[in-house]
Chains A and B, each alone.
Chain A
């Protein structure tokens, strides 16, 4: 019998190593798996590279992971959310590396990783500072940049419902990066608001098939309080 449900946060976080590349779902705080991030802080892995759209709000979730010194580098599109106090401080003090990637490129790089595509061409960022050092090629009269797949060692995902096979649904715009990150990592760990019996999820409604998921932790996390 397949059962990906784990009972404790320690079991959910087991085996995450120092130096790991960790993909963290969410757009701002919506869809960001804050309970798993707290678990990662507790677990203690250091020197992490975090891939996320933003860099954390206030002192919560991702911001707390940065503040507690677990992160060496952040790969993101928009490190300036409503209240990026922690990131801004680390950045000014030169204590964190930053790789800025256009939002569509960062998500497509993870899609490519999950789909076995090592690299792809895109018109985004051609002729800009973010094209520096990248291979450029003209195809049918238009210029494109070569972008490589972005793989994670670990993905931390927030779902709305999950079953023991790891099939997932999401809530409204909290879907965002979560389904893509789930495909792009070696180890995909999910916190879910609701745990349901196998067969309860309408197959037409499942967004992430369980094949991409390794561990599911039931965390009735309630409503997000900040955006």
Chain B
């Protein structure tokens, strides 16, 4: 797998983090209420054009999150889940934490975008603990978002830095939620999680399904869904 990964990566043009965020953002329809997880998913916010009204939710009680403020326009009481300064767009509002999580847990969000360590072909996701670092585990809102949103899309690299597939038959890291991932956006491909496992919707140029399979632990098949 590790040898294969180097060969496959050399033969195609993997997306950068920003390109991955842009690719995912392109698929969010106007009118959706969307929560972006900390890390790479927060970049999705910068890639939704303002004229497309997508309402971004931040778990700490902000509905209608806008882009980062100009340095001289910072409201020091206004941050996102990643503790970065943000703005509130026109029409946005604040709520307390339990209301904020009620809208997550009550199934009101159209979409949650999370980063992850692993996604399994049955839709299981592992994104909060690798069990092997000496830091304390930290779950935050991940389990609420994964269990509560109507759709869960994962944005992550296709492989670890050492070339191991993150798309697996079964997760080996501690689970965040069971059977909830609907779609995965990686630096190599966009894949749906179907009843029959991973189905490729799209690949980067220069990549073949066979080459993608070489670097993917779980079986991948060509999607019947038009892209």
Contact = CB atoms under 8 A, between A and B. Distances in A.
B134 A173 contact: no
15 contacts: A27-B79, A27-B83, A27-B97, A77-B138, A78-B140, A91-B135, A103-B59, A105-B144, A123-B105, A126-B147, A129-B175, A173-B94, A176-B96, A224-B77, A227-B79
A177 B139 CA distance: 17
Interface string A173-217: 111111110000000000000000000000000010000000000
Size category, B interface:
35 or more
Interface of B: 58-62, 75-79, 83-85, 88, 94-98, 100-102, 104-105, 129, 134-144, 147-148, 174-178
Interface in A72-95: 77-82, 87-88, 91-92
Contact of B140 (A87, A103, A128): A103
Nearest to B86: A173
A119 interface: no
B79 A178 contact: no
A202 to B, nearest CB: 16
Contacts of B96: 170, 175-180, 207
A172 B65 CA distance: 12
Size category, A interface:
35 or more
A225 B68 CA distance: 17
Given A102-B141, A111-B98, A173-B58, 14 more contacts: A30-B79, A77-B139, A78-B138, A81-B83, A82-B83, A103-B97, A124-B144, A127-B177, A129-B129, A129-B174, A172-B77, A175-B95, A175-B97, A176-B61
Given A128-B175, A176-B96, A79 B148 contact: no
